Amino acid sequence: MDTIPAPPAAADSAAETWELRLYVAGQTVKSVTALANLRKYCEEHLKGRYKLEVIDLLLHPQLAEGDQILAIPTLVRKVPVPIRKIIGDLSNQEKVLVGLDIRTV
């Protein structure tokens, strides 16, 4: 598996800016934890090529429908496609990285 070279698309995606969105509902423990975890992973693996948007649904409830948000907190990877969602407080680093398809360097 490791010997298979990364597809060109993946190489491109590595170059482009990642767009991440984290949906939270107020400053709950879970939300705060999730945000802290996410910041940490991004700094570690995507430094300088990610855009993180935090949306508080208590302030903008109309935005929940667009991304089909049910669970809180939810992390949505908008770019690169396909869209991926990770729910929970993102405490399991390995799962988050696999879920976001971030190849550890």
Partner 1 sequence: MQDMLASSAAARPQLPKAPTGIDGLDEITEGGLPLGRPTLVCGSAGCGKTLMGVEFLVRGILNHDEPGVLMAFEETADELTANVTSLGFDLKALQAAGKLKLDHVHVDRSEIEETGEYDLEGLFIRLGYAIDSIGAKRVVLDTIEALFSGFPNQAVLRSEIRRLFRWLKDKGVTTVITAERGEGSLTRQGLEEYVSDCVILLDNRVIDQITTRRLRIVKYRGSTHGTNEYPYLITEDGISVVPVTSLKLAHEVSDEIVSSGVPALDAMFGRRGFFQGSSVLITGTAGTAKTTLAAAFAAEICRQGKRCIFFAFEESPRQLVRNMRSVGLDLAPYQEQGLLYIESSRPTLNGLEKHLVTLHKLVAEQKPAAVIIDPISNLITVGNTAEVSSMLTRLIDFLKVHNVTALFTSLISGRNVQQEMTEEGVSSLVDTWLSVRDLEGIGERNRGISILKSRGMSHSNQVREFIVTDEGIQLLEVVVGPAGIVTGAGRLTQQLQEETLALAARQEAERKDREIERRRRMLEATIDNLRTEFESVEEELRRINQEELLRQQAQLTNRQQIASSDGRPSAASPPLA
Q: Tell whether residue 6 is a contact of partner 1 (CB under 8 A).
A: no
SS3 27: coil
Binding residue (CB under 8 A) for partner 1 from 20, 80, 88, 102: 88
Which of 4-12, 14-22, 45-53, 67-75 is the region at the interface with partner 1 (rule: CB under 8 A)? 67-75
CA–CA distance, 48 with 57 (Å, rounded to integer): 27
Note every long-range contact of 96-104, with CB atoms under 8 Å and residues 24 or more positions apart, other chains counting. Answer: 96/37, 96/38, 96/41, 97/41, 97/45, 100/20, 100/75, 101/77, 102/41, 102/45, 102/46, 103/6, 103/10, 103/14, 104/45
Q: Please, what is the minimum distance in Å from the beta carbon of residue 5 to partner 1?
A: 25
Q: Tell whether residue 98 is a contact of partner 1 (CB under 8 A).
A: yes
Q: Tell whether residue 104 is a contact of partner 1 (CB under 8 A).
A: no
Residues near partner 1, by CB under 8 A? 23, 25, 28, 30, 33-34, 57-58, 61-62, 64-65, 68-74, 83-92, 95-96, 98-99
